[in-house]
């Protein structure tokens, strides 16, 4: 049995055990560690001791990129489009994403981790449509924006189906693809500051038949580097198309620092998730979110994080 399959079995086991309060957390993460190739990245819980290990750049090292525009976000619209929790579920979802974000922040800012370049850039991925990837992208950005020392930038890179841009009311605005097409467009021109805890947003922009090639271009690599360096106090989250449906997500996976794979509980097949994982660079930090499960109380959307962290295998192992 392959090591990826063992990791996926742990996720399948987690699906079966959801609703059992004793199974959420340590039981699932420890079973994933049996996959061999992946070392578990457990959440820190935000304790004082764990926070002391995280490095945040000094304020005087670099100034952030300033957006040219600021907008007000219609939260009712986000809720209606399924990208933000309703009032009755807000507290529960907020608690869940507090746990989910912790290992991602560690990988982005902690000293001494073998993460590689652009560690503060995260690709939100899924095998197929309907997993709740955009919901997780928006709520992860919102949760990170609540941090005292860290902010969030959300990029709608689902250029074929820019639902997040539409939810933010920016589907007719210049964005990512326009920037990649026109060297005269600056980052500030496509960057929008929102009143949602100061989250910055980059819409997808116009549709283009050569979107894959544009995302694979040097200009995209330059943009990602500029976002990573220009927002050293922020995590840059890319909401991407499904891995098994389009080529755009595979191209972006090569450029970002971290990857989060959103898996739809009771729907995503193990074979589909394995195929999606096979398209990713497993030397990068990869976390999986089991989404659309149910809590012990029943009926509620439930998002849980099962993190595994890649490492270089020794030749004698």
Residue 180 near residue 223 (C-beta atoms within 8 A): yes
Cα dihedral: 296, 125, 158, 123 (round 10):
110
pLDDT, one tens digit per residue, over 241-300 is 999 998 999 999 999 999 999 998 878 788 899 999 999 987 888 999 988 776 444 444
Question: For 96-100, what is the mean pLDDT?
Answer: 93
Distance from first CA to last CA of the chain, Å, rounded? 17
Residue 243 lies in a domain: yes
Number of H helices, E strands in the chain: 13, 10
Residue 144 lies in a domain: yes
Residue 316 lies in a domain: no
pLDDT over threshold 90, residue 138: yes
Q: Residues 236, 237, 242, CA angle at the centre, nearest 5°?
A: 150
pLDDT over threshold 50, residue 231: yes
Q: Please state, as a whole number, how many other Cβ atoms lie within 10 Å of the Cβ of residue 281.
A: 12
Question: For 78-83, what is the mean pLDDT?
Answer: 95
Q: Domain holding 79: CATH number?
A: 3.40.50.300
In total, how many domains does the chain have? Answer: 1
Question: For 60-76, what is the mean pLDDT?
Answer: 84
CA dihedral sign of residues 99, 105, 107, 113: negative
Largest CA distance in the chain: 56
Mean of per-residue pLDDT scores for the chain: 78
Give the three-state DSSP class for 129. Answer: coil
Question: For 219-225, what is the mean pLDDT?
Answer: 95
pLDDT over threshold 90, residue 97: yes
CA dihedral sign of residues 279, 280, 281, 283: negative
Residue 315 lies in a domain: no
Higher pLDDT, residue 2 or 237: 237
Residue 277 lies in a domain: yes
- 44-48, 122-126, 245-249: which is most confident: 122-126
Please tell me the predicted confidence (pLDDT) of residue 114: 55
Q: Which domain holds residue 44?
A: 3-310
Residue 317 lies in a domain: no
Q: Please state, as a whole number, how many other Cβ atoms lie within 10 Å of the Cβ of residue 1.
A: 7
């Amino acid at each position: 049995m392959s090591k990826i399959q063992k990791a996926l079995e742990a996720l399948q086991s987690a699906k079966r055990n959801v609703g059992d309060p004793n199974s959420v957390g340590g039981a699932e993460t420890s079973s994933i560690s049996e996959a061999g190739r992946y070392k578990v990245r457990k959440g820190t819980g935000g304790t004082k001791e764990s926070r002391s290990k995280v490095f945040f750049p000094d304020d005087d090292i670099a100034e952030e990129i300033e957006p040219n525009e600021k907008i007000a976000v219609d939260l009712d619209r986000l809720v209606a489009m399924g990208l933000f929790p309703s009032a009755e579920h807000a507290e529960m979802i907020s608690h869940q994403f507090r746990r989910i974000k912790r290992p991602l922040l560690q990988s982005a800012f902690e000293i001494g981790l073998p993460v590689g370049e652009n560690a503060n850039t995260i690709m939100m991925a899924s095998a197929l449509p309907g997993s709740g990837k955009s919901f997780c992208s928006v709520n992860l950005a919102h949760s990170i924006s609540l941090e005292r020392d860290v902010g969030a930038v959300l990029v709608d890179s689902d250029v074929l189906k820019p639902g997040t841009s539409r939810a933010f009311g920016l589907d007719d605005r210049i964005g990512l693809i326009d920037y990649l097409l026109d060297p005269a467009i600056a980052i500030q021109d496509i960057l929008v500051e929102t009143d949602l805890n100061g989250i910055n947003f980059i819409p997808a922009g116009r549709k283009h038949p050569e979107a894959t090639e544009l995302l694979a271009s040097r200009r995209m690599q330059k943009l990602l580097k500029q976002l990573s360096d220009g927002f050293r106090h922020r995590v840059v989250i890319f909401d991407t198309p499904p891995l098994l449906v389009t080529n755009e997500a595979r191209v972006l996976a090569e450029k970002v620092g971290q990857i989060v794979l959103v898996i739809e509980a009771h729907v995503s097949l193990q074979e589909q998730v394995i195929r999606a994982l096979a398209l990713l660079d497993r030397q990068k930090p990869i976390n999986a979110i089991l989404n659309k499960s149910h809590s012990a109380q029943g009926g509620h959307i439930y998002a849980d994080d099962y993190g595994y962290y890649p490492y270089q295998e020794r030749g004698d192992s």
